[in-house]
Amino acid sequence: MNVRKHITAATLSAVLLGGAVALAPAASAASYPNQNWSQIAGNHAGVVFHPYGDKFEIWDNLHDGYMVWVEYNYKGVSDKWKLVGSEVDKHVTYSHNVAESINGKPAYIYFRVCDSWGCSKPSWYRTWGS
């Protein structure tokens, strides 16, 4: 079995099974950009979050036959990262319902795109509005 495929499948399985993935300890969450997109270095893969319609636009520019996926977590909520979807060598949009408010306050999410080599630096953005 190709090691790279094995790592990808194992990583995705951990997310699907509810494995907790913590924010990277090397960078503080305060340093994450407030923007509606995130991409892996070299633009090999990326994601744009569209709050109107709760859509995650995902692209995989590497065209190597390996999957990329998107994860998100609510800002200020200590829980597990959630999987949005995964693709191989495509540009797709997933509609994925996210909360627009938490405890009566507007909600924000951290999100990132990942491939078998790692994940992009998370961005954070609002979940409400157009």
Q: What is the pLDDT of residue 30?
A: 82
- Every domain of the chain and the residues it spans: 3-19+32-126
Mean pLDDT within 30-59 = 95
pLDDT of residue 39: 97
- 3-19+32-126 in CATH: which number? 2.60.40
What are 69-101's pLDDT values in tens digits? 999 999 999 989 999 988 899 999 999 999 999
What DSSP letter does each residue of 67-124 carry, written as one string? EEEEEEEETT--S--EEEEEEES-EEEEE----SEETTEE-EEEEEEEETTEEPPPEE
In the predicted model, is pLDDT for residue 7 greater than 90?
no
